Structure 1
């Protein structure tokens, strides 16, 4: 039987579909510095991997979201960036540069050769897997709410916002927008974290839903009277949502994807090595991918997430 996550995630991305298509048509056809410019395949001009190794640089698309990938002054940094720097460095690509775009332009941008990969901690979803190639999971996600101090509505999990009694801000194109689409939630879409924070502070929204790690960082960096709730695994229509983020490549860049995954596997084999890279950005063992979780499983629209969660021993 087809998983219920197919329906709500397809609906979640349907609204962004026209934006994705339009952006893909209008995006420039040549890569930024460090790109292949030939669609990234293994054609006569050589593979993307070999071209990046020759150039010694890879240009990644990023959204600008703390703590994943963002600019700190003039420096590109973040957990996914630093993880990429280590992996690409092992592949002989010593420089990681970036191009910041809107969230909905990340996949169209890599498809159109504006950059060589996406480094934004993007969640692995079946609909996205139809458009791009995801590396193996590198980060596990839980959901949380950014709320006024004291959490006046006592929001604890996704069920606590269902029913339309509260208004929840969600980022356009993000997983939480799909959760709201599929459930009885009064939601308003915002373009980014700052807009989500503003919506809560002005009272236009009672809460802002996003990944727990993002909201913890946002609550810590702002002086506004807000707090992040305890993170939780969202249950939508009775099914736990296994959220995992990964690096994203063009589908034809099979050699680059395989090389990235090979280096990633050595880091994931040692949780301490993963934590050494990720912990400075606020990640903990709670975000470390469980053994046995694969991109193939998360890309499969027929995968029953309840069964998968049970197989992996996940609590929800």
Structure 2
């Protein structure tokens, strides 16, 4: 039996999905779908005074995207590395209750801009087009890319360059990528043919049932999914840093805030700096989710540079 981590679909009709109550370990909280009715647990207006309002309320609402091991639901409870960071950092501000909304990936930033939640906690990559729409905290998780294939890797795919080489040689390679994910951008830059999937679970399913030869996503997510689904006909290759035009695309993800929410974002950065101050303090928070010291962003990797499109540290 495959253990699934599929995001709950937002009904096309716009019908309201029932909210799910849960208690987050260390901090109380609730998980609901993004399309909940007005009058539910909503966010406070972003901008000046937002931080104090959240402190007074004692609750912050963050959006998650159902991607293991960043932020996802397990046994009715929100968990993952970015949830652990949120509880640690917001708790340090005096905001002890973290509520979560499970949101389709492509709706994370639009929902944030619409004020449906206070922040996005999903390990979202810091990219120029996203920086134009919202403000990212300092880098909190570095990542590499990997390919999930069927066991035995019948097409011999090791990275996106190998996919390109096969396609250029005339082979029909079916590559799945997460819609809106950074791997989709890599594939576009390389001129690869892709099929977009809405979430990680669907990506694994397309490989498992042979509708895709490979699924490209962050290495730690794919490795965790394969480990948790031993009966699935999938395996994951080694992680790699993709090169585009000869430049290694070092990247990182972080928590996302609405434009103008500077006070809240800077307070978060202060708390994050304490977590990323050392390997020990970092792994104390995210280590249980499979992250290692390799995922700790270097000191000279900045959000400002990543927002300009600079690939990682100099």
TM-score, with length taken from structure 1: 0.83
Match of 1:178 in 2: 185
Question: Structure 2 matches for 1:23-34, cutoff 5 A?
Answer: 33=41
CA distance in 1, matches of 2:36, 2:153: 45
Match of 1:203 in 2: 210
Question: Structure 2 matches for 1:105-254, cutoff 5 A?
Answer: 105-163=107-165, 164=167, 165=171, 166-222=173-229, 223-254=231-262
The one-character-per-residue Cα deviations of 1:112-156 (angstroms, maximum 9, x if unpaired) are: 110000000000001100110000000001000011112222222
CA distance in 2, matches of 1:228, 1:31: 43
Q: Is the 8 A contact 2:70 2:122 kept in 1?
A: yes
- The answer for unaligned runs of 5 or more in structure 2 is 1-34
The one-character-per-residue Cα deviations of 1:162-216 (angstroms, maximum 9, x if unpaired) are: 1423221001010111111121322111111121112112222110000001000
Displacement, 1:33? 2.1
Q: Is the 8 A contact 2:42 2:116 kept in 1?
A: no
Between Structure 1 and Structure 2, how many residues are aligned?
Answer: 275
Match of 2:14 in 1: none
2:62 match: secondary structure? strand
Q: Is the 8 A contact 1:158 1:234 kept in 2?
A: yes
Alignment root-mean-square deviation, CA: 1.8
CA distance in 2, matches of 1:28, 1:253: 24
245, 260, 266: which one aligns with 1:258 = 266
Displacement, 1:30? 6.6
1:290 match: secondary structure? coil
Q: Is the 8 A contact 1:29 1:114 kept in 2?
A: no
Q: Is the 8 A contact 2:160 2:187 kept in 1?
A: no
Match of 2:298 in 1: 290
CA distance in 2, matches of 1:220, 1:263: 32
Displacement, 1:284? 0.7
